[in-house]
């Protein structure tokens, strides 16, 4: 309590709200990244990725009870994938139907306020965990423990940083617009169609295509918030810019391969992207564009570090992964266009039939 009051007195008079949000996101993301690599998590980049997901909508971090509830829901959501693994081998069509239903449900959860992380984890559970469980239950258990520890570290990073860069008092909530439920139904099916091809590819090699699946799930979330006109520009543009940011950080990191240098370069790059995301640095692009750029950068950098540790050709793997990311983004934009065209034709047909 004393720390919180002292931090608020320090931060609030000196920094505007947009700057506080940018510093909070950048510092917590890079801090959690350092903790994840320092603790030797199997997939360290998931922890800072969850910081971005949890902090996308500025709000105080969850309390201890909320964290325990979140972890319990996460373990149940991810545990569903463990049971789907054997079913994929013995009865693939029913398992695929359950996975499609799970992706739809995860999209419905992600559209609700404060449920983005739970929805994303449910999508990971029914895709990545299910694919890993179909090959090796040990691999699935390792992924579950990594994701649970990663989200716990993400909340811990928020707890440590939030007192120094707090929010202003929350304004009164406005009532949701009518018709949101009807739109949500269509948006969820659209997001499911975007994620499904990447999941089918993940079945061939879950360990290799984990970053691609995570990217496709985040693209599905992004697509549910975009109109058709701006979808291709944002999804493909953020993927390209995220790849460029990853190249810049990797080049700077090669000057001195050290965890603290990694922390420092990530802090600077995340601060730049967060400034644009929250409006401290005004651009003509939506916050979702900058969030997608940041998540793409984190995934690509995390995968590159893993490739380097495993002795793989980092640059060749990066080019292949970047090409796959762009292919998924192009497919997402094309799928949205085709589905919207089909929907418009169907609505027009029903109107003409009504006459």
Q: Would residue 201 count as lying in a domain?
A: yes
CB of 270 within 8 A of CB of 28?
A: no
How high is the pLDDT of residue 171?
56
Q: Would residue 297 count as lying in a domain?
A: yes
pLDDT one digit per residue (tens) for the chain, 355 residues: 445 555 555 544 578 889 999 999 999 999 999 999 999 888 899 899 989 988 877 888 888 888 888 788 778 877 888 888 888 888 888 889 999 998 998 888 887 777 777 788 788 888 888 888 888 788 788 888 888 888 889 999 999 999 999 888 765 544 444 444 446 777 888 888 888 888 888 888 877 787 888 888 888 877 666 666 667 778 888 999 999 999 999 999 888 888 999 999 999 999 999 999 998 888 888 888 999 999 999 999 999 988 888 878 888 889 999 998 888 888 888 888 787 778 777 777 777 776 5
pTM summary value: 0.86
Q: Would residue 110 count as lying in a domain?
A: yes
Q: Would residue 215 count as lying in a domain?
A: yes
Q: Would residue 173 count as lying in a domain?
A: no
How high is the pLDDT of residue 226?
62
Domain count, the chain: 1
> Which range of residues forms the domain containing residue 245?
2-167+180-354
Q: Would residue 174 count as lying in a domain?
A: no
How high is the pLDDT of residue 173?
47
CA–CA distance, 111 with 230 (Å, rounded to integer): 19
Q: Would residue 175 count as lying in a domain?
A: no
CA–CA distance, 226 with 205 (Å, rounded to integer): 31
């Amino acid at each position: 309590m004393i720390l919180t009051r002292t931090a608020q007195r320090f931060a609030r008079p000196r920094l505007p709200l947009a700057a506080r949000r940018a510093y909070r996101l950048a510092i917590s993301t890079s801090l959690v990244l350092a903790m994840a690599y320092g603790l030797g998590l199997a997939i360290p980049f998931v922890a800072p990725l969850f910081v971005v997901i949890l902090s996308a909508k500025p709000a105080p971090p969850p309390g201890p009870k909320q964290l325990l509830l979140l972890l319990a829901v996460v373990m149940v959501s991810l545990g569903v994938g463990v049971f789907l693994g054997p079913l994929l081998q013995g009865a693939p069509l029913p398992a695929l139907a359950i996975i499609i239903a799970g992706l739809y449900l995860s999209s419905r959860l992600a559209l609700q306020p404060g449920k983005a992380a739970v929805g994303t984890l449910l999508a990971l559970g029914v895709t990545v965990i299910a694919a890993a469980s179909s090959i090796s239950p040990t691999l699935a258990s390792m992924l579950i423990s990594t994701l649970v520890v990663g989200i716990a570290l993400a909340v811990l990073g928020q707890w440590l940083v939030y007192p120094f860069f707090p929010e202003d008092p929350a304004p009164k909530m406005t009532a949701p617009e009518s018709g949101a439920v009807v739109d949500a139904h269509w948006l969820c099916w659209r997001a499911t169609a975007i994620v499904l091809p990447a999941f089918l590819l993940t079945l061939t090699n879950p360990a290799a295509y984990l970053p691609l699946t995570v990217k496709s799930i985040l693209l599905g979330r992004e697509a549910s918030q975009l109109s058709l006109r701006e979808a291709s520009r944002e999804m493909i543009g953020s993927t390209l810019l995220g790849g460029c940011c990853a190249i810049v950080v990797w080049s700077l990191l090669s000057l001195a391969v050290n965890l603290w240098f990694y922390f420092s370069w990530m802090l600077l790059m995340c601060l730049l992207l967060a400034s644009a995301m929250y409006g401290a640095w005004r651009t003509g692009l939506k916050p979702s564009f900058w969030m997608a750029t940041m998540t793409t950068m984190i995934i690509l950098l995390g995968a590159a570090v893993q490739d380097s540790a495993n002795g793989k050709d980092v640059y060749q793997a990066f080019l292949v992964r970047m090409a796959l990311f762009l292919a998924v983004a192009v497919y997402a934009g094309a799928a949205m266009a085709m589905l919207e065209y089909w929907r418009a034709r169907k609505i027009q047909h029903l109107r003409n039939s009504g006459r």
